[in-house]
Amino acid sequence: MIHFQWPWLFLTLPLPLLVRYFFAARITIEQAALKVPFLDDFPSEETRIIAAEKPWRLWLAAVAWILLVLASARPQWLGEPIEQAVSGRDLMLAVDLSESMSAQDFELQSQMVDRLTAIKAIATEFINRRVGDRLGLVLFGTQAYLQTPLTFDRKTVAALLDESAIGLAGEATAIGDAIGLAVKRLQKQQANSRVLILLTDGANTAGELSPLKAAELAASYKLKIYTIGVGADEMVVNSLFGARKVNPSQDLDEETLTAIAQKTGGKYFRARNTEELNQIYQLLDQLEPVEKDKQYFRPRAELYFWPLSLALLCVALITLQRVRSL
């Protein structure tokens, strides 16, 4: 349906008639230099002006004025109401980009990939399911960076996560600083629930804030943290002395990650492969359900440029005719 944003502007439609009535043009008749016996045989100045005026020009000017008022009222096309679920939750993802995330101990589509690639694939599906949540993204390595502030735009969050690269934030791991940055971004937000999902494959080796101190700070602001330890328990490595099994997750500090989750009312998960990582995200969907309240909005499309273009066309035709008549 068509809707006018400023319908009160239609009150200006009779403005030209009021101006003509109260401020009528005065025609000055100069004294004739030639005396003639029969004055009626010569047309007066007023008669020549009226004769010069084209009736279609007045009608075209009236149409142009109506179109200008119509454009000024800002016509819009309102679409059908669209339902939007709003949970009132602020959910932040903190993803480790340290050098150890390059270990290729995850299988994705029958191909061995590094840990970050697997996280991107699974986390993107999780992000797309979080309808109604405001999502944010923190990337951390030696330092922690806010990649995406809280937003309902899930596509942007997923796209920026996909563009992240190993080593982008440094080679070390600053878990405490990542939690501290999330607390800083969430503490002033009024939300029914504040959640941080932290994914890492190592221990805190950088940063100014210790993980446990950061967890206490998060608990004071009612920020719940779910920690996920990423990495396989064993991996076959080929060397000059043949194939041997190693533990690629020997640096994973599960004790600290578990303590972080317990201090904030969250939970610690262990993701040794892609299947377990996917199950963890599905479990998070159950622990933090998405849909709460429903809101509706109607898409709007501006239409003012159509009457405005026609009004300018009418003015151009009137101007062109006057120029040609000179």
**Residue 138 belongs to some domain of the structure:** yes
Q: Looking at the structure, tell me whether residues 268 and 180 fall in a common domain.
A: yes
Q: Looking at the structure, tell me whether residues 311 and 274 fall in a common domain.
A: no
Quick check: 82 pLDDT over 70? no
Outline where DSSP puts E strands in the chain: 2-4, 75-78, 82-86, 89-96, 106-107, 112-113, 134-140, 144-151, 193-200, 223-230, 235-239, 242-246, 268-271, 293-297, 300-302
Cα(318)–Cα(305) distance, rounded to whole angstroms?
A: 20
pLDDT band at 86 (very low <50, low <70, confident <90, very high): low
**Residue 255 belongs to some domain of the structure:** yes
Q: Looking at the structure, tell me whether residues 241 and 127 fall in a common domain.
A: yes
pLDDT per position as a tens digit, 176-203 = 999 999 999 888 776 667 899 999 988 9
Cα(223)–Cα(187) distance, rounded to whole angstroms?
A: 8
Q: Looking at the structure, tell me whether residues 18 and 116 fall in a common domain.
A: no
**Residue 73 belongs to some domain of the structure:** yes
Output the pTM of the full model. Answer: 0.64
Tokens encoding 38 = 């029969």
Residue with the larger pLDDT of the pair 154 and 39: 154
Q: Looking at the structure, tell me whether residues 93 and 227 fall in a common domain.
A: yes
Q: Looking at the structure, tell me whether residues 231 and 173 fall in a common domain.
A: yes
pLDDT band at 33 (very low <50, low <70, confident <90, very high): low
Tokens encoding 181 = 């940055």
pLDDT at 50: 43
**Residue 266 belongs to some domain of the structure:** yes
**Residue 34 belongs to some domain of the structure:** no
Q: In 3-state terms, what secondary structure has residue 210? A: coil
Q: Looking at the structure, tell me whether residues 54 and 121 fall in a common domain.
A: no
Q: Looking at the structure, tell me whether residues 52 and 154 fall in a common domain.
A: no
Domain total in the chain: 2
Cα(82)–Cα(85) distance, rounded to whole angstroms?
A: 10
pLDDT band at 247 (very low <50, low <70, confident <90, very high): confident
Segment 24-45 mean pLDDT:
53
pLDDT at 47: 46
Q: Looking at the structure, tell me whether residues 52 and 105 fall in a common domain.
A: no
**Residue 33 belongs to some domain of the structure:** no
pLDDT per position as a tens digit, 167-176 = 989 989 999 9
Q: In 3-state terms, what secondary structure has residue 268? A: strand
Quick check: 132 pLDDT over 90? no
Cα(153)–Cα(281) distance, rounded to whole angstroms?
A: 19
Write out the residue range of the structural domain in which residue 13 sits: 2-27+39-79+298-325
Q: Looking at the structure, tell me whether residues 58 and 99 fall in a common domain.
A: no
**Residue 159 belongs to some domain of the structure:** yes
Least-confidence region, from 51-60, 78-87, 119-128, 279-288: 78-87
For the beta carbon of residue 172, count every other beta carbon within 10 angstroms.
17
pLDDT at 164: 93
Q: Looking at the structure, tell me whether residues 186 and 316 fall in a common domain.
A: no
Domain containing residue 153: CATH number: 3.40.50.410
pLDDT per position as a tens digit, 92-126 = 999 999 998 998 888 888 888 999 999 999 999 99
pLDDT per position as a tens digit, 207-219 = 899 999 999 999 9
Q: Looking at the structure, tell me whether residues 290 and 303 fall in a common domain.
A: no
